[in-house]
Chains A and B, each alone.
Chain A
Amino acid sequence: SQELEQSPQSLIVQEGKNLTINCTSSKTLYGLYWYKQKYGEGLIFLMMLQKGGEEKSHEKITAKLDEKKQQSSLHITASQPSHAGIYLCGADSGGYQKVTFGTGTKLQVIP
C-alpha cells in the first residue's frame, strides 16, 4: 500500500514568514492532493497535481510535484494567521479516487 510521509509534523512561524511542507511517497504518485483542515472540521481542497514537474498556485500557496513524481511540496509565502491549520497531502491509490493521506502537518502562525 502507498505510504505518505509529511514533514515537518508541526510548524510554528511568525506572521509574514515563508514556509514549506513536504510530502514524500513510497510509490510513484499518479494524483497528489493537498488539503487544509481546521481543528474539528472537515477538509478543504487546495490543489491537485498530476504531472511530473507540475506547479500550481492559489493566492499565497504554491504546490509542486517533482519530476520523478514521488515528492511534493507546499509553500506558503508571507504567512497569515488565516493559514493556520493542519495540512494533509493525499494520493490516489487505486482508482475510484481512493485517497490515502499523510499524517499531516500542524501549522501555527503567530501574529
Chain B
Amino acid sequence: SQTIHQWPATLVQPVGSPLSLECTVEGTSNPNLYWYRQAAGRGLQLLFYSIGIDQISSEVPQNLSASRPQDRQFILSSKKLLLSDSGFYLCAWSVGGGTGELFFGEGSRLTVL
C-alpha cells in the first residue's frame, strides 16, 4: 500500500533562518507531488506541484522553493524565512496521469518568530 511521510512535524525558526521540509512517498511510482500551505484565515493554498523529477511548477510568487531530487521525494526550502511564512504545510501526492483524489501527509507546522 502507498504511504506518505512528511517531516519534521513541528518547527520553530527565527526570521532569516533557512528552511527544509521533506516529503517521501512509498509504494507508488511517478506520482504527482504537491506542497500546500494552510495559513490562519487563508484556506489551503497550492504552492508547488511536480509531475516528474526536476519538473516543478510554482503557483504563487513567494519566498519558498521546491525541489524533487528523486521520483518520490519532494523538498520545500527557503534561504531566509519571513514571518509570513508561518503556517501549516501539507505535502500530497496523486496518481500520475490519473484522475482521482489527493493523498495528504500529516503536515508540518512552521512558526517563524
Contact = CB atoms under 8 A, between A and B. Distances in A.
Contacts of B90: 42-43
Interface string A44-61: 110010000000000000
Contact of B101 (A40, A45, A100, A101): A45
B32 interface: yes
A90 B90 CA distance: 15
Interface string B35-54: 01000001110100101000
Contact of A41 (B36, B51, B107): B107
B4 to A, nearest CB: 8
Interface residues of A, number: 22
B32 A96 contact: yes
A41 B106 contact: yes
Contacts of B46: 98-100
Nearest to B98: A97
A76 interface: no
Contacts, number: 53
A3 B101 CA distance: 19
Given A40-B109, A43-B90, A102-B43, A97 B32 contact: yes
Contacts of B65: none
18 contacts: A40-B88, A40-B107, A40-B109, A42-B104, A43-B90, A43-B92, A88-B44, A90-B44, A96-B49, A96-B51, A97-B94, A97-B99, A97-B102, A98-B59, A99-B102, A101-B43, A103-B42, A104-B43
Given A41-B106, A42-B104, A96-B32, 18 more contacts: A33-B102, A40-B109, A42-B90, A42-B107, A43-B92, A44-B104, A45-B103, A90-B44, A90-B102, A96-B51, A97-B32, A97-B94, A97-B102, A99-B102, A101-B44, A102-B43, A103-B43, A104-B43
Those 4 A-B pairs whose CB atoms lie nearest each other, nearest first: A42-B104, A45-B101, A101-B44, A103-B43
